[in-house]
Structure 1
Amino acid sequence: MKVDLFDFDLPQDRIALRPAEPRDSARLLVLDGDRRADHIVSELPALLRAGDCLVFNDTRVIPAQLEGRRGEARIGATLHKRQDLRRWHAFIRNAKRLRIGDEIEFPADVRAIAEARNADGSFLLRFLGDDPVEVLLDRAGRMPLPPYIASKREADERDRADYQTMFAREKGAVAAPTAALHFTPALMTALAQAGIGHETLTLHVGAGTFLPVKAEDTADHRMHAEWGRIDTATAERLNAVRGKGGRVIAVGTTSLRLLESAASEDGRIQAFEGDTEIFITPGYGFRAIDGLMTNFHLPKSTLFMLVSALMGRERMLAAYAHAIASGYRFYSYGDASLLLP
């Protein structure tokens, strides 16, 4: 399909720069088949059914954005995927000033060697010293806010809490699974009292999620790989939910993509550990999920293509037009939608 089919105009003042307070006071646009209604996130227990199960991503965002120097040249690095204990793939700003074998000096005596250049233009960096890379990042890094926020303000200390979900446990993401930012302990208690369960999986979200689709046709776009895991017990419990007539509802496109990567042809969710490059566009047959809660996405992005695959492109364009006209807040710190095909 032509990428331009997924374009729409978004006023800059609709881009949220801070999350709602409290988190579950964010607005929630519900699409239930052809029905559309405006709600708030705290009303979610009344919008789902007893026996449904929400699936959250428990990845934890690391301070993966670094500013350093190679000689006199300023070098920016955004880590996006771990290679091993000491090496990470990174998107580099001012990459024309960096060559294989160069050493980059970051603050707090953190140093890395540019070991290789990848086909997509990113670099493989090897961090020097004995401290774990996560310790080095805590010393020298900052939270990797999405470009559409970072271009408007600097990341600050507040973002270290704001840009983590209440489920964040497994370190390794360089972007938050932002649909889950709306959940609070009080909301989780209310959901449990309504008979709505929850499970967690892990997908370490990479910075590739923010990369623009440069191809003119979706068939020519290649997704960046991200590492994920679903254990056997979690897979069995999710299959049991559907076996009893409940719905598996992914909280965030990251949870959805991992569930779909782990599903067999008959729709059963299997244990999974490894990389996924799944790219979901209209025409895809969903196997593992029955609904999705997600934030509002960028024009012509792979994530807007995904929600269009779930609900239909025309329906999603109309829903986004309604959201824009109604003052919904967009993107990572913005409001949410509940999509029930």
Structure 2
Amino acid sequence: MTARDQESATAGGRRDVGSRLRFAVLGTGYWAWWCHGTVLAGRSDVDFVGFWGRDATKADAAAARVGRGRGFTDLDVLLDAVDAVAIALPPDVQAPLAARVARAGKHVLLDKPLALDPVAADEVVAAVADSGVASLSFMTYLFQAEVAAWLDRLRELAAAHGPWEGVAVSCAGSIDTPGNPYIDSVWRRERGGLWDWGPHALSLVLSLLPPVERVSAARGVRDTVHLGLEHAGGPLSALTLTVTAPQSAQECVVTVWGPGGRHTLSLPTGALREAYDRAVDQFLKAVARGSRSHPLDAAYASRIVAVLDAAERQLARPAEQRTTAPIA
């Protein structure tokens, strides 16, 4: 019997669809087990199957940490054993695997950013659309109770007084803080605050303003980037993003202004697993709906990537040639 045959026998193969979704996580790192795996393994409405990773020892260790499921190294075997997959991998690894998962007919709960280039992101969107599976991108702040309530209140004010005219978001973190679980994250080191904080900041901006039409971008010290965004109809937003801020300067703040006044929120840093649990709630509802639609689906995540890519292209140009870049 081959190793894959042995895994298939252990996994039990396909089963008849029941009331509980069979779920697994792609990834074995800290975020994969601490957030995705711990939440999914603790829910009573899903059957948690385990973790997939290239290293069998790490996959088994992740399963042992959450006390449910087992490790897999053969992705096809895992896909035969599940109905849905959560992905907790670097974005350049996530995108092709997400497309593969969707084309296998499995629902996909995505992390952010979806990809590091628009072509890879669009391939995920196409795979999801072609297969008719559900997709949802875990935009952390949008699932945190305090932030969601604040955004609801701002939408009420906009409905009563007129649309918001501008948003500013400053996200300053430091992956060099002792004990930070992402201190060795290669993609965060290479891509910096633009791609790490960018999806978070954009999720807030796009909750309050129309779609982005044009982008300007400039570099600051270390990995800091400053973005100026022009939105449909005239509103503007500004983002300042870094993952290498001085440790004493760490803070994330969003400010909104317009006819409804000026409002500022210091963004929370905790309750991350609670936020993910709410995302799973919404994901399961999307799976249960025949339309599979959700506002934060793969297409939404792809639009985020398009904005970040436009900023990246601006930053790659000589300073004297930078103006604004249209969103492709």
* Fold agreement, TM-score > 0.5: no
- More strand by percentage: 1
Q: TM-score, normalised by structure 2?
A: 0.27
Using CA pairs under 8 Å that are at least 6 residues apart, name the structure with larger relative contact order, 1 or 2: 1
